[in-house]
Amino acid sequence: MNYSFDLKEVHFKNPVIAASGTFGFGHEFAKEYDLSVLGGISTKGTTLEAKAGNKGQRSCETPSGMMNSVGLENPGMAFVLKEEVPFLQKFDTVVLANVGGNTIDSYVKAADMADKCEGVHTIELNISCPNVSHGGMAFGIEEGPAHEVVSEVRKVVKKPLIVKLSPNAHNLVKVALAVEDAGADAVSLVNTFSAMKIDIRRRKSVFHNLYAGLSGPAIRPIAVRMVNEVYKAVSVPVIGLGGIVSGEDAIEFIMAGASLVQVGTANFMNTSACINVIQGIENFMKSEGIDDLSEIRGVVK
């Protein structure tokens, strides 16, 4: 039974990756189980310089999901590569450095540093960050800025480059095609949906920045549809995420076209979520007599 996948020279032993921002740098989860069982770990989103993150409340629960407005708080790329990546190197799993930025220059410098780090196997570029040169609109909203930032990062990144797409894009398929043209080796989708929660007693948004990112099972059917649309349009591998809590959820994404999947919000609900998804995929393959995941990948056109 084969459920591994090779992205260029990087081998994923199984298709399950712990999603960025929901797994930290693995320390807490390593106390619960051996992280070597995972296909990969995407680090907490990291920028060139340390970032304090957003003010005020940063998360709240919603029906079948959660909202967050963390604002990419992180200790900066130099610290992460020196202090956090060596810990992840102890485990037999793929390390994806999730890179954020607010300018093309900051993206390029941060990605270059991560690319040169021996313990990092692939770069996952988060283009949902606000572009300070264009009024704060995220790089991933339109194909032009998305193509530009990926093109510049591609010039310095030798390792496989994954571009994480925003579902808030004006036309997600066009953005996906743009980043593929700019040199992306794969795309991952979807990131969180822009959403709002109002405190009706205080008559104002719960979040300082008004809007926040919605994730969890509530978004899964939309995410599956978006993965399918992008899969049918691009020629590079697609990594699917958005509300996966079980092996059957992951199989949906794979049938929609995903080569790999990421588990995010479920990690807050259950520290063994990733393990459960891996086991669920195995059980489904056995029960359905599937020898290789390629047999069902993208079967739903």
Q: Which residues are catalytic?
A: 129
H or E stretch covering 68: strand 65-68
Q: What DSSP letter does each residue of 223-267 carry, written as one string?
A: HHHHHHHHHHH-SS-EEEESS--SHHHHHHHHHHT-SEEEE-THH
Task: Check the CA dihedral 248-251-255-260 and report its sign.
Answer: positive
Q: For 157, which DSSP code?
A: -
CB burial of 118-151 (b: ≥16 within 10 Å; e: otherwise) equals eebbbbbbbbbbbbeeeeeebbbbbbebbbebbb
Instruction: Collapse the DSSP code of 203 into the 3-class scheme (helix H, G, I; strand E, B; otherwise coil) and give the result.
Output: coil
Instruction: Give the Cα separation of 136 and 131 in Å (integer).
Output: 5
* First-to-last C-alpha distance (Å) of the chain: 24
Instruction: Give the Cα separation of 93 and 249 in Å (integer).
Output: 22
Residue 265's CB: how many other CB atoms inside 10 A? 26
Q: Are 26 and 18 in contact (CB under 8 A)?
A: yes
* Closest listed residue to residue 74, CA positions, set 24, 121, 32: 24
Residue 2's CB: how many other CB atoms inside 10 A? 12
Q: For 152, which DSSP code?
A: H
Please, what is the angle between helix 247-256 and helix 273-288, to 10°? 70
